Structures are given as structure tokens and as C-alpha cells.
């Protein structure tokens, strides 16, 4: 899996072009911080975008992921059409005043310490972005029974 972290609020697909341009550059910089200038990958992919927020933004999960995949075109992969399956989610880290800590067992080793540091920082929102090769085993009709 190719994954990276950001500590800025995501933009919606509906954001104006000036804000989008800055957002694209910030995403590209964050990707390169973890993966350098590696060549874009080929093949069908699946993608994850998780936004862990401290304060509600009103952003919905659908509008969260499209700008991310558009921004990484020609940097992480050749075309966002390669993303055949995507999952996006928005999670509140403070629910009813209780800290919420997600299961980090599947976070890649090179992100683990950074993610743990970010989750412990009470002012930081976290944007987790990852993608990998798509395979037919990802096609599930009942995620709850997996």
C-alpha cells in the first residue's frame, strides 16, 4: 500500500479554483514527503481517504475523496480512472467529549509513529490517504459480515 498523512482540512469537490490549486499542491507535497518522486503506478487500484476531524466541517464523504484522487493524477498514478474502488469516511475524534482512538494495526509501519503523534495532538485533524492494487476480493456485498 502507498499511503500518506496530512494535517490539514480537506476541501470539497465544490471549492473554488484558487483554493483547489493550493490544496492540490499541499496533497502532492504530502505524498512526496513519504514517497519522494517515485514514478506513478500502473494498473487498477483501490483507494482510501479517511478524514479524522476534531470539529465538524459539514463535509460529506463523497465530496471528500474526488478532489484527492484528481490531485494525485500524474504524481502517484497516471490517471484517476485507475481507481476502480474507493472508500471514504469522515470520523469525529471527539464524540460526546470522549476521545475516540481507531485501531491502528493496519496502518503501514512508516506511518504508524506519525499517526500516533497526530492522534494524540488535540488540535490536529488527520487526513489518511492510501491506495493499492485492486483485486476481486474487494468486491463484497455485505461488509458487516467480513
Grid-cell match 460526546, residue found:
96
Per-residue pLDDT, averaged over 50-55, amounts to 89
Tell which residue, 35, 44, 23, has the closest CA to residue 127.
Answer: 23
Q: Is 59 exposed, middle or buried (0-12, 13-18, 19+ CB in 10 A)?
A: middle
Helix (H) or strand (E) holding 25: helix 17-35
pLDDT for the residue numbered 49: 96
Cell of 27: 496533497
Residue 97 has pLDDT above 80, yes or no: no
Tens-place pLDDT, residues 2-44? 999 999 989 887 778 889 999 999 999 999 999 999 899 999 9
pTM of the complete model: 0.89
- Please list the helix, strand and coil fractions of the chain in percent, rounded to the nearest 5, in that order: 35, 25, 40
Q: Which CATH number fits domain 2-134: 3.40.366.10, 3.40.50.150, 1.10.287.990, 3.30.1330.70?
A: 3.30.1330.70
Q: Domain segments of the chain: what residues?
A: 2-134
pLDDT for the residue numbered 4: 97
pLDDT for the residue numbered 47: 96
Helix (H, G, I), strand (E, B) or coil at 104: coil
Tens-place pLDDT, residues 58-84? 888 888 999 999 999 999 999 999 999
pLDDT for the residue numbered 98: 55
DSSP one-letter code for 101: -
Q: How many CB atoms lie within 10 A of CB 132?
A: 15
pLDDT for the residue numbered 96: 54
Cell of 69: 484522487
Higher pLDDT, residue 145 or 127: 127
Amino acid at each position: 500500500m502507498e499511503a500518506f498523512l496530512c494535517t490539514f482540512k480537506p476541501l470539497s469537490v465544490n471549492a473554488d479554483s484558487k483554493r483547489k490549486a493550493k490544496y492540490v499542491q499541499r496533497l502532492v507535497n504530502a505524498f512526496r514527503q513519504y514517497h519522494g518522486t517515485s514514478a506513478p503506478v500502473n494498473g487498477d487500484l483501490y483507494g482510501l481517504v479517511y478524514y479524522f476531524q476534531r470539529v465538524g466541517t459539514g463535509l460529506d464523504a463523497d465530496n471528500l475523496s474526488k478532489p484527492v484522487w484528481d490531485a494525485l493524477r500524474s504524481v502517484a498514478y497516471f490517471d484517476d480512472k485507475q481507481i476502480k474502488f474507493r472508500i471514504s469516511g469522515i470520523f469525529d475524534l471527539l464524540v460526546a467529549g470522549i476521545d475516540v482512538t481507531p485501531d491502528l494495526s493496519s496502518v503501514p509501519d512508516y506511518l504508524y509513529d506519525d499517526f500516533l503523534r497526530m492522534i494524540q495532538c488535540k488540535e490536529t485533524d488527520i487526513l489518511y490517504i492510501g491506495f493499492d492494487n485492486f483485486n476481486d476480493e474487494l468486491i463484497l456485498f455485505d461488509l458487516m459480515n467480513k
